[in-house]
Amino acid sequence: MEPITIGLIVLVVLVVLGGAAFVSTRSRGRDLELEPRRGDTDVLDRPVRDQAVDGDTAVLDPEVDDVVPDGDVLVEEPPVEDVVVEEPVVKPSFFERLTKARTAFTGYLGGLVGLGKLDDEAWEDLEEALIRADVGVSTSMSLLEDVQSRAKDAGAEDGAAIVELLKQRMHEELADKDRSLTIDDGETNVWLFVGVNGVGKTTTIGKLGKRLAAEGERPLMAAGDTFRAAAAEQLTMWAERTGAEIVRGNEGGDPSSVIFDGVQAAAARDRNVVLADTAGRLQNKTNLMEELSKVRRVAAKEPGHVSEVLLVIDATTGQNGMSQAKVFAEAVDVTGVVLTKLDGSAKGGIVFAIESELGIPVKLVGLGEGVDDLVDFEPEEFVNALFE
Ligand SMILES: Nc1nc2c(ncn2[C@@H]2O[C@H](COP(=O)(O)OP(=O)(O)OP(=O)(O)O)[C@@H](O)[C@H]2O)c(=O)[nH]1
Ligand SMILES: [Mg+2]
């Protein structure tokens, strides 16, 4: 072959190889150009997934694929308010909450309705049932005396009619009491919480912190329990949970001075209700009386205005709780009772013992450990729940 021909063939081969290499580089380059775009998609994807994990924007998930190619994910994010779950309009009644908290509560006295004609023994059974329900001996006896005379007047003999008379009498016993909680306008109101240890004072203050704030009041908590280690800690946790301000002192310090500081701070910061915790110790009566009267006196110093002294009673302690409550009621002028742990008691008759023996209205009821488990006491529904 001529050298020129060989040269031409080599040239053609080189041109062909060169062309192929050029095409291949171009196509690889295109591939490389595509990769960053996939990368972009990941970056866009991630925040969307993160939001979904937060639980706020799970509703958006089905749209993610549609949204990604446009690259507008963040703009599509709905305002947070859109996903806030609205409060149910109809709140459960006291009756419903009571029976839900403790199904055995309903019908505690309801079994009596089946009684036939009441002979002496049946009347005794009725009395025993009331005492077992924590109504207390003297209150049970006086209620039944009334019922007996009413039954006689009405000529009622059968069990159902007599139980109906008892129910009516129990309704009357709880009717027409002022169960409101006082907050006087323009005052630095102080609500003192007293009662033996472990009954639920601190927890009740925590629950009330949320409730009062929701009602537009401006509560401040005062950790007047300087006796028990960690008591102020416990109240601080409630304050943080409910967004309330708190004033606390040193452990072992003077409870009165913590409450005094609480009142001063409340006045300075325009808080209108000081929820004052106290220690639940019950060493001896004289001691208790002295301490409680001092706490009350100091809490009432200008600009403090003691508008409630709430005695906290644990419903599960029955008559034992009653005798402790009597000591407190003698030591300080109590304006109302908070009956806690009714979710743990099937009885509830203690309400009658409290109101007739102590003469103090039950104002609030604790139905659990949660922040929303504190409700106003509703006497009508309460008596119905005892019998239904
Ligand atoms: N089931 C139930 N538990 C409650 C209720 N109220 C309070 N408790 C629980 O009772 C326990 C004692 O409550 P605290 O609030 O610490 O009682 P306290 O009276 O402040 O006790 P001291 O500070 O020791 O005097 C806690 O475990 C609370 O969660 C209620 O209504 N129902
Ligand atoms: Mg406490």
Residue 339 lies in a domain: no
Average pLDDT over residues 254-274: 96
* DSSP conformation letters of 166-226: HHHHHHHHHTT---PPP--TTSEEEEEEE-STTSSHHHHHHHHHHHHHHTT--EEEEE---
Average pLDDT, the chain: 79
Question: Is residue 362 classed exposed, middle or buried when 0-12, 13-18 and 19+ CB atoms within 10 A define those classes?
Answer: buried
Q: Which atom of ligand 1 is nearest to the CA of 281?
A: 25
Residue 282 has pLDDT above 80, yes or no: no
Domain that holds residue 20: 3-83
More confident residue, 105 or 142: 142
CATH number at residue 293: 3.40.50.300
Residues touching ligand 1 (Cβ under 6 Å) are: 195, 197-203, 225, 228, 231, 280, 312, 340-341, 343-344, 366-369, 373
User: Which has more pLDDT, 347 or 363?
Assistant: 363
DSSP symbol at 269: T
SS3 363: strand
Taking residues 128-147, what's their average pLDDT?
92
Ligand closest to CA 314: 1
pTM across the whole model? 0.77
Rounded Cα distance, 161 and 115, in Å: 10
Sign of CA pseudo-dihedral 238, 243, 245, 250: positive
**Residues 109 and 146 placed together within one structural domain of the fold:** yes
Mean pLDDT across the stretch 320-348?
90
- Ligand closest to Cα of 194 equals 1
205, 369, 374, best to mutate for ligand 1 pocket (most atoms within 8 Å of CB)? 369
Q: How far apart are CA 77 and CA 387, in angstroms?
A: 53
pLDDT above 50: residue 68: no
Q: How far is CA 156 from the centre of its chain?
A: 44
Q: Which of 22, 49, 83 is the last residue of a domain?
A: 83
User: pLDDT band for position 2 (50/70/90)?
Assistant: low
* Statement: residue 27 has pLDDT above 80: no
Compute, in angstroms, the gap from residue 87 CA to the centroid of ligand 1.
27
Domain boundary among 311, 334, 357: 334
Where residue 8 falls among pLDDT bands split at 50, 70, 90?
low
Concatenated DSSP letters for 71-107? T-HHHHPPPGGGGPPPPPSSPPPHHHHHHHH-GGGTT
Which residue did the predictor score with more confidence, 281 or 8?
A: 281
User: 53 in a domain, yes or no?
Assistant: yes
